[in-house]
Amino acid sequence: SILSGGSVESLAQPELRQRKTEITRDQMDVDDSLVSGPRILVSLQYNDTEEILSVTIHRAVELPTENTSDVPDPFVKIILLPDRPKKRKTDYVKESTSPEWEETFEYNIPRGQVRDKEIDLVVVNRKGLFCRFGDVFSVEMGRLADLCRTILQLCDCCEITGKTTSRWFSLSRPDSPKLEVGSFF
C-alpha cells in the first residue's frame, strides 16, 4: 500500500515507502537478551548521496496489555521531530503483544539538518481508538490508545554513510513518569 505524502522537504514521499524489508540477524548486530520489558527493534540508514533517511520498524515485544482477554491490535506512529509533518504509521497487527511489521519509511532530510532531528515512535492500540456503546461507535479522545513510546535522537546519523544500524529500544508507558530517550548511534 502507498501512503500519501507531500513534496515538501523532509516529508515522506509515497514512492519511498517499502513493505517487508528483509534483514538478517547478522546485519542487525542485535542482542535483545540484555533488555527486558516493552521494547521495539528499529533500523536506521542514512544515504548521504541521496539525503534519504530510511527507518525500518521490525518488531516489538512484551507490549503492555490491560488483561489477557483484551490483547491489543498494535501499530506504530512515526513522527519526525521537530518538523511534525504528516504522521506515518505501520499497518496494525491483530491481537499481539509481540507484533512484527517489517515496514520501511523514508524521509528526505538534507545532511546539514540530520543532527537536529528526532523520531518519536508511539505504539498505539487500534482497539483503543474506538469505544462501542450499544450499536454506536464513537471516537475515544485523548491518548488512551497509546500503549508505549520512545524518542530516537539522530545526532550522529550523518556520519554513517550507507551502513544499516539496528537496535532494540525500551518503550515507556504513557503513564510512566519518565519517557525513555535513546541515542541511536
Q: pLDDT of the chain along its 185 residues, tens only?
A: 344 333 344 444 444 444 444 444 433 445 555 568 999 999 999 898 999 999 999 999 999 987 778 899 999 999 999 887 778 999 999 999 999 999 999 999 998 888 889 999 999 999 876 544 444 444 444 445 899 999 998 875 445 567 888 889 999 987 665 545 555 44
Q: Give one DSSP letter per residue of 70-109, joined into a string.
A: S---EEEEEEEETT--SPEEPPP-SS-SS-EEEEEEEEE-
Residues 136/163, Cβ–Cβ less than 8 Å: no
Residues 11/86, Cβ–Cβ less than 8 Å: yes
- Cα gap 122→181, rounded to integer Å: 12
* DSSP-assigned beta bridge partners for residue 74: 125
* DSSP state for residue 142 in the 8-state scheme: S
- Cα gap 157→176, rounded to integer Å: 28
Q: What is the pLDDT of residue 158?
A: 43
* DSSP state for residue 95 in the 8-state scheme: S
